[in-house]
Amino acid sequence: MNAIYLASGSPRRREILENLGFTVRRLPADIDETPKEGEAAVEYVRRMACEKNQAVVAQWFAVLTADTTVADGAVILGKPESEADAVNMLERLSGRTHQVLTAVCVYWRGVCHDVVQTSEVRFKTLTAEEIAAYVASGEPMDKAGAYGIQGLGGVFVEHLQGSFTGVMGLPVYETAQLLKSLGLEAPPFA
């Protein structure tokens, strides 16, 4: 299968694409990921994926980027800035349903094409001890919303409506369909 350029440092996104049969070549895409004042989660995540794409597009001809964020209503929960921030995020999500949005952007033949996948995730009610132990594990510190569904944080997920891989950081179905719609290689069963 063809190689694909991934402008993301996420090992989860790389693994998902490799599992689909792609040879993944990583590109750095360092951008400011601060939400704009009043920016809705869907606009934010789409802007992040596109800005990552544009940061590397001058160097490459076909680039895939993605960005994932957690939203509690209109509040965007990015990566925690501190352990206290992670605790606050997990307390906020405890016993509630939130949204996880992942935007995928592919620059192809001079045009950016994107898709946004949204999942609904409900957490069980968390105890202070569970939150403290999870934060102490270090896992929440580099993840939007302060948890990773594919790791220890998965034990908090009571219900998921949407895409497990989307919550991980790259929705497989939507990514394959986007690539296929552009005439790029995708798994033969996509």
The DSSP string of 55-123 is HHHTT-SSEEEEEEEEEETTEEE-S-SSHHHHHHHHHHHTTSEEEEEEEEEEEETTEEEEEEEEEEEEE
Q: Residue 22 falls within a domain, yes or no?
A: yes
Which domain covers residue 85, as residue numbers?
3-181
For residues 116 and 102, what is the distance between their CA atoms, to the nearest angstrom? 6
Residue 63: in which H helix or E strand, if any? Answer: strand 63-72
Q: Could you tell me if residue 120 is inside a domain?
A: yes
Which of the following is catalytic: 32, 67, 72, 142? 67
Task: Tell me what pLDDT residue 190 has.
Answer: 65
Give mean pLDDT, residues 87-109: 95
Q: For the chain, what is the mean pLDDT? A: 90
Number of domains in the chain: 1
Instruction: Please check whether residue 189 lies inside any domain of the structure.
Output: no
Q: Is 30 a residue of the active site? A: no
Q: What is the pTM of this model?
A: 0.75
